Structure formats: C-alpha cells, structure tokens
C-alpha cells in the first residue's frame, strides 16, 4: 500500500495517463449502458407500466403482438380476473391541418381495463372517438380538446386526456378504446364481440380448457424479448460492454506487466532487503485498484454530466445498481490485470540486484 | 573472543554441471563477531559477490553451512530466508540501493511499515545526523550525491538493527576521499554499536580500518 501509493505520487504523469485510459473505458461502458437502458426502456416502457404477467397471442404470430390476430370473443377461452384485450396501430399522429406530424404507437384496450394509463390531466375515455396522449406528445404541442388524425384515414379523433411519459418500441404512446382503434384502422367490424384485436394481457389467468384454438400463452418476459429488434439491440450493446471489460483487463494487465519488467532491478533490491513478492504484489494491486477507482469515479461524474446535456430525444437512462455492478466488474478487471504480473514478480531473483 | 554472529563453514558453490561447471567458491570458511569490521578483498570474478549472496541467504551453497547465531540457514525455506534477510541482515549494494520514488526519510519509514510498527522518528534522526544527512532528509535519491546515497544506504541498513551488515563494494562509485569517509563511518558503526560488518572491496587502500581481512583468489578464501 505504502510503496504503491508513494510511487504513484512520484510518477504522476505515468499513472495519470493510465488512469485516463481507464477513465475513457469506464466512460464508454457507462455511456453504452445508459444507451442500452434508454433503448430498452423506450421499447418496453408501456409494457412495464402494465405490471402484467402473461400475454395471449395467436399461436401463428411468432409471439409478436402486431402479427397476432384474435377476436374479442376469444376472451371466453380464458379465466382469471384482469384479462384485458389489446390492439395496436403504429401510425402517425397529425393535426387536422397537417402542420404537426409525430410517429406514435396507438394502444387500445377496453375503457375500464387495468392497461389504461393513469390520467394526469383531462378525463378518461367516456365516449366514441376519444384518445389519451402521453406526456411526450403533450410536450410536442398536442393539446386536450384538439381534433387530430391518427393513421392514414381522414377520420378525426379528439384528445381528452394526458398521462405520464410512455413509449412503446421507441415511439410515444396514445391510448384509445378498441372500437375507436378499429374505426381508425378501417376494420370491417367496429363494434361487438367479433371485433379483431391483437392479444390479451393479464395479471393472473389460465386457459379454461385444453381446447383453446389458436391462442398461445406467453410470459411477459418472452413478450418483451420478442419485441421486434429488442433482443438484437440489447445483445449488441451488452456484448460491446462485455468486450470493454476484457479490454480493460488487457490494458491494465499489459501496462502493469511492462512496468514490472521495467522495475525488475528495483524489485530485486526490495527482495534483497527482505521485502518479498507478497509486498510487491500488494503495491501493484494498490496501484491498479487506485487507477481503476479514479477512472470509475470520474467516468461516472462525466456520464452524469453528459446525461444532463443530452438532447431530449436521445434514449438514455441511468440505472445506478447496474452502474454499481459494472464498476465492480471494472475493479475486478483491474485486480486480475495486476495479478497477471504475479509470476514475473515471484520469479525475480534477488541475486541479480547484486551483480 | 566473542562468539561469531555469522559463520560460514566449508562453503562450496558450483555453477553448472560437467565440463562447463564453474567453481565460484571452494571450501570457504569465514566468521564475524559483533563489533568486528571485516573486509573481503579479491580480484574481479574471484567469488566475492557469490560469497555475500550465500551469507545473505539469497543463494544456497552447493556444500557447507551458513550459521547465523548458531542456526543453520541453508536448509530453511525461501520464506524463512526472506524474514531472515529482513530482520537480521542489512545489505548495502554497490549502487541502486535506494528506492527511487521514496525520500530519505521515507526509505526508513518503509522499513517500519514492513515490520508493522510506527515510524521510529528519534532513531531515524539520530542515525541520519550520525552520517551527516540531516540536511537531505526530504530529498529523493536522484537529488543526492553518490556519497550521500551510500550513506543513506548505510543508515537504512543500520536502521532495522540487523545482526550483520553485508556491504558489496559500497564505495565502488565514489572517489578515494569519499570512499575513505564511508569506510571510516562503517568502522565507527561497527565499533560503537557492536555491529558485525562485512565489506567486500577490491581496493587495497580501504582495508586500513578493518579488524580482519579475508582474501579470495579463484574461489579460495584465506584469512590474513
Ligand atoms: N549465476 C551464475 N551462473 C554462472 N556463473 C556464475 C554465476 N554467478 C557467478 N558466476 C561465476 O562465479 C565466479 C565468481 O563470481 P562473483 O560474482 O562472485 O565474482 P566477484 O568476485 O564478485 O567479481 P566482481 O569483483 O567483478 O564483482 C565468476 O567466474 C562468475 O562468472
Ligand atoms: Mg561482485
């Protein structure tokens, strides 16, 4: 400890540079993690707010909501409380004058279903052709009472309420009832039990009998992982993060190894004086952990700072427990990197110092 | 005569095997008692450093025994020999004795850290004053003259109260007046503090202060 820290103090430039490299790695790890979280959240936020357990889709839909077609009447095949129908339409929200256009994901469920978001201003849907908009759309200038178009039809709907920020597959959401959505889709049936929907979302439920036609039961986690692009995106970003841990380990390992080779005569002198491998290794560990800590702390600080400066449209979410875990992984990489020099240190022959 | 603190008996050291074998030491016998200042003198390649490394437990002899206060050292584990070096031996090397990133005071503090005891401030002060180093206590080794560096190495060796101090050509990088100064200080430490000090040199002029002189020639050691 003493040896390691004193050396760092004396060789400021060398250790500052190495800390700087670790800072950059930590920064990239934290930025990538923030983006991965942001993208993940952007994709699944709507699903997470449901706090549901199970989803029922058409078994031929490859577990994808938009590809699934069911009828409202299929609900009779399920038992359980809180079984909510769900229909979606990815479409453009625009003002009647076409002066404003925003890509949204419209979600429809029955008016009193548990999927309906908590109203922040305005009122819940209580009649035909009404929609609720999420905070992101409100921020874009859409207002309660405004008549808007959704999708490609010329039919208009009225904004009657707003709710908290909410996105599904990166786009801000709009909520409406099943009949309104079917009308906007131009579906042939726009009332009654024969209306088409995409699936059912439930908290606790099961099939009534083993004869359940085309219905397939999937867990909410499977549902999220099957969101188009979601798994591939997360896998890509997470793989980059895991590679960075390996790179951090390699960089510390190589640096410490080169420094150890350079300092062999010094370590020889230490051994002559009875200061053994254990103490030398402790010094190397102190140094790499200290550098990693400097890099991590500064990296976190800069990440938080950059997050404030990021444009609102950039999906970036800081998850502290995850950052804690990644910091720990970087620290472990630093410790392992230093330990790579263990054999070299152990093999230094004190007799060489005597010459 | 007082009992020897360090004794080497019938030491032989051979490097390599067969017809390429080099015999660096042949049946060497040596002893030093507390308060004695002993010189080992011999030409280059005669086996002086080999002798010192064996005495310090840095190498094991091919044959023979190293006795420190009567205890056999050669058969002990590497760990035990490390502790022995730290506690019982003060080593002064030809050069690069000091740790480049520690100040003079910190070199001594390190010894205390390793021994897990608080810094012995008064002892450090007294020793540094004895060797005329009070002015440079906060200097780094590269800021010291060669003579100052050797004196710091002597302080460092004495600081841990070892039984024996082994000095391998401590004056090699110094001019004659400074060499004589360093040797005189070593002699004084031996006599004043009852230390056993062994100094290797190839300079005839420096052995005037020594109580005993051993000569090595081609690995054969003779007491003068
Ligand atoms: N590790 C080793 N392997 C092989 N031969 C060695 C080794 N160490 C020393 N020798 C040989 O042993 C002999 C004595 O070497 P040593 O270093 O003890 O000499 P020295 O008296 O200290 O010389 P100098 O005054 O030049 O330092 C030399 O012939 C040397 O080549
Ligand atoms: Mg030598």
Convert the pLDDT of each residue in A252-262 to its tens digit. Answer: 999 999 999 99
Copy the structure tokens of residue A198: 């995409």
Task: With respect to residue B10, please indicate whether it lies within any of the assigned structural domains.
Answer: no
pLDDT score of B175: 82
CA dist list (Å): A150 to A42, A146, A183? 21, 13, 11
Give which of B111, B199, B202, B112 is closest to B150, Cα–Cα.
B199
Within 8 A by CB and 6+ apart from B139, the residues are B103, B104
Task: With respect to residue B63, please indicate whether it lies within any of the assigned structural domains.
Answer: no
Report pTM: 0.83
Task: With respect to residue B55, please indicate whether it lies within any of the assigned structural domains.
Answer: no
pLDDT score of B56: 87
Contacts 24+ apart (CB under 8 A), A189-195: A192/A72, A193/A71, A193/A72, A193/A73, A194/A71, A194/A72, A194/A73, A195/A71, A195/A72
List of chain B residues whose C-beta atoms are within 8 Å of the C-beta of residue A10: 100-102, 140
CB of B105 sitting under 6 A from ligand 1: no
Using 50, 70 and 90 to split pLDDT, how confident is the model at A355?
low
Give which of A164, A166, A168 is closest to A43, Cα–Cα.
A168
CB of B47 sitting under 6 A from ligand 1: yes
Task: With respect to residue B54, please indicate whether it lies within any of the assigned structural domains.
Answer: no
pLDDT score of B73: 82
CATH code (residue B163): 3.40.50.300
- From CA A326, how far away is CA A28, in angstroms rounded? 11
Q: How far is A269 from chain B (nearest CA, A)?
A: 7
For chain B, the domain total comes to: 1
pLDDT score of B96: 67
Verify whether the Cβ–Cβ distance B94 to A355 is below 8 Å.
yes
CB of B41 sitting under 6 A from ligand 1: no
List of chain A residues whose C-beta atoms are within 8 Å of the C-beta of residue B59: 351
Task: With respect to residue B23, please indicate whether it lies within any of the assigned structural domains.
Answer: no
Task: With respect to residue B14, please indicate whether it lies within any of the assigned structural domains.
Answer: no
Give which of A251, A199, A344 is closest to A28, Cα–Cα.
A251
How much is the average pLDDT of B51-56? 90
- Is a pLDDT exceeding 90 seen at residue B76? no
State yes or no: ipTM above 0.90. no
Backbone angles phi, psi at A161, to 5 degrees: -165, 165
Using 50, 70 and 90 to split pLDDT, how confident is the model at B19?
confident
Convert the pLDDT of each residue in A28-62 to its tens digit. Answer: 999 999 999 999 999 999 999 999 999 999 999 99
Copy the structure tokens of residue B31: 């002893």
Q: Identify the weakest region by mean pLDDT among A184-188, A302-306, B175-179.
A: B175-179
Task: With respect to residue B65, please indicate whether it lies within any of the assigned structural domains.
Answer: no
Q: B11, B20, B40, B47: which to mutate for ligand 1, most atoms within 8 A of CB?
A: B47
Looking at the complex, does the CB of residue A274 fall below 8 Å from at least one CB of chain B? yes
Domain that holds residue B183: 33-46+77-223
- Is a pLDDT exceeding 80 seen at residue B91? yes
Neighbours of A105 (CB within 10 A): 21
List of chain B residues whose C-beta atoms are within 8 Å of the C-beta of residue A351: 53, 58-59
Q: What is the B166 CA–ligand 1 centroid distance (Å)? A: 17
* Exposure on the CB side of residue A51, measured as CA atoms within 13 A: 5
Convert the pLDDT of each residue in A310-322 to its tens digit. Answer: 987 788 999 999 9
Task: With respect to residue B12, please indicate whether it lies within any of the assigned structural domains.
Answer: no
Instruction: Give me the DSSP letters along A206-258.
Output: EESSS--TTEEEEEHHHHHHTSTTHHHHHHHHHHHHHHHHHHHHHHHHHHHHH
């Amino acid at each position: 400890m003493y040896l390691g820290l004193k050396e760092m103090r004396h060789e400021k430039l060398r250790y500052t540079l190495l800390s700087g490299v670790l800072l950059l790695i930590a920064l990239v790890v934290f930025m990538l993690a923030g983006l991965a979280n942001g993208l993940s959240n952007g994709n699944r936020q709507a699903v997470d707010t449901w706090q549901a357990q199970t989803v029922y889709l058409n078994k031929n839909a490859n577990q994808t909501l938009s590809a699934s077609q069911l009828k409202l009447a299929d609900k009779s095949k399920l038992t359980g409380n809180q079984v909510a129908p769900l229909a979606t339409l990815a479409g453009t929200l625009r003002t009647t004058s076409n002066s404003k256009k925003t890509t949204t994901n419209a979600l429809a469920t029955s008016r009193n279903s548990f999927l309906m978001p908590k109203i922040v201003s305005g009122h819940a849907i209580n009649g035909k052709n009404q929609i609720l908009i999420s905070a992101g759309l409100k921020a874009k200038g859409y207002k309660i009472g405004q008549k808007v178009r959704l999708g490609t039809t010329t039919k208009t709907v009225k904004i009657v309420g707003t709710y908290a920020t909410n996105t599904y597959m990166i786009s801000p959401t709009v909520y409406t009832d099943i009949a309104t959505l079917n009308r906007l889709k131009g579906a042939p049936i726009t009332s009654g039990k024969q209306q088409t929907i995409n699936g059912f979302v439930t908290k606790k439920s099961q099939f009534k009998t083993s004869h359940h036609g085309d219905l397939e039961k999937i867990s909410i986690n499977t549902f999220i992982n099957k969101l188009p692009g979601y798994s591939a995106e997360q896998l890509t970003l997470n793989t980059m993060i895991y590679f960075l841990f390996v790179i951090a380990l390699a960089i510390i390992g190589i640096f410490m190894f080169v420094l150890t080779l350079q300092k062999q005569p010094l370590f020889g002198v230490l051994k002559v004086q009875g200061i053994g491998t254990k103490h030398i290794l402790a010094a190397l560990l102190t140094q790499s952990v200290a550098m990693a800590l400097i890099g991590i702390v500064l990296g976190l600080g800069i990440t938080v700072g950059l997050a404030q400066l990021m444009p609102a449209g950039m999906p970036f979410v800081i998850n502290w427990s995850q950052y804690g875990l990644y910091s720990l992984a970087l620290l472990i990489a630093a410790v392992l990197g230093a330990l790579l020099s263990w054999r070299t240190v152990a093999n230094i022959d004190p007799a060489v110092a005597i010459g | 005569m007082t009992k020897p603190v360090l004794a080497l008996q019938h030491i032989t050291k051979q490097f390599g095997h067969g017809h390429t074998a080099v015999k660096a030491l042949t049946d060497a016998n040596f002893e030093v008692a507390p308060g004695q200042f002993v010189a080992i003198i011999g030409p280059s390649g005669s086996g002086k450093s080999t002798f010192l490394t064996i005495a310090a437990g840095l190498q094991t002899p091919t044959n023979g025994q190293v006795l420190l206060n009567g205890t056999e050292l050669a058969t002990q584990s590497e760990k035990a020999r490390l502790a022995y070096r730290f506690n019982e031996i003060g080593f002064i090397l030809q050069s690069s004795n000091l740790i480049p990133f520690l100040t003079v005071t910190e070199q001594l503090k390190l010894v205390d850290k390793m021994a897990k005891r608080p810094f012995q401030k008064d002892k450090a002060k007294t020793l540094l004053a004895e060797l005329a180093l009070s002015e440079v206590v906060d200097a780094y080794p590269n800021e010291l003259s060669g003579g100052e560096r050797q004196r710091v190495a002597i302080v460092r060796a004495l600081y841990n109260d070892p039984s024996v101090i082994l000095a391998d050509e401590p004056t090699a990088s110094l001019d004659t007046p400074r060499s004589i100064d360093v040797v005189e200080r070593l002699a004084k430490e031996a006599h004043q503090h009852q230390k056993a000090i062994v100094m290797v040199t190839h300079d005839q002029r420096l052995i005037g202060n020594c109580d005993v002189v051993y000569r090595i020639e081609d690995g054969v050691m003779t007491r003068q």
